[in-house]
Amino acid sequence: MVGEKWIPGIKINDEKMASVMKGLTQNHVIGMTMRELTDFVNQDQGRSPEDCFTLAQIGYAVRKLRGHGLAVKVDGKNLYRLTPAGQCFVRGFVKVVEMVIIPFTKNVMRLGQEPRISRKAYVPAKSKSEYFSMLNEKYAALEKNITEIFDILDVVNAPEISA
């Protein structure tokens, strides 16, 4: 919530929002009009003229970004561009979506289509403590893998940005 107005969250799996952010990074110095941004998103998503996004849908996505302080409207013009904090956030967001989330979900979908025989057999825990021990091992392995991914992507702990 910013002030007294509620701002909707930015969902990491929203392809439209990812395309809007990618479009704003393309021309972040001058800015983009809503029409240019809508055309970019429809082209980026490979939408046909029958099922393309409207100006209102893209405008809603831009309002979300503006509400979170990631984008601004250029004074006296119908142009929108990213704030410095927005540029950092969007670059990281788009990289994570393109290099982590999309490949991960494609892999999950592929695994879901394989026959059950090729999957690793489930071994139930014998006690509650063994269950938590197994869970902690899986969590530690996941945390290690995520850390390695962020190291490869050269993502570092950035200082917090104050408004």
CATH number at residue 49: 1.10.10.10
Average pLDDT, the chain: 79
120-154 pLDDT tens trace: 666 677 787 887 788 788 888 888 888 887 777 76
Question: Quick one: average pLDDT of 8-34?
Answer: 83
Instruction: Please give the tally of structural domains in the chain.
Output: 2
pLDDT surpassing 60 at residue 117: no
77 and 14 in a common domain: yes
Q: Which tens digits make up the pLDDT trace of 60-101?
A: 999 999 988 899 998 888 899 999 888 888 888 878 877 877
3 shares its domain with 77 = yes
Tell me, what's the pLDDT at 1?
A: 46
In a domain, 161, yes or no: no
For the segment 97-118, the average pLDDT, to the nearest whole number, is: 69
Are 109 and 131 contained in the same domain?
Answer: no
**Are both 152 and 105 inside the same structural domain?**
no
Same-domain pairing of 147 and 104? no
For residues 53 and 39, give the distance between their C-alpha atoms in angstroms, rounded to a whole number. Answer: 9
- Structural domain span for residue 34: 1-119
One domain, residues 75 and 98: yes
In a domain, 52, yes or no: yes
| pLDDT tops 60 at residue 102 | yes
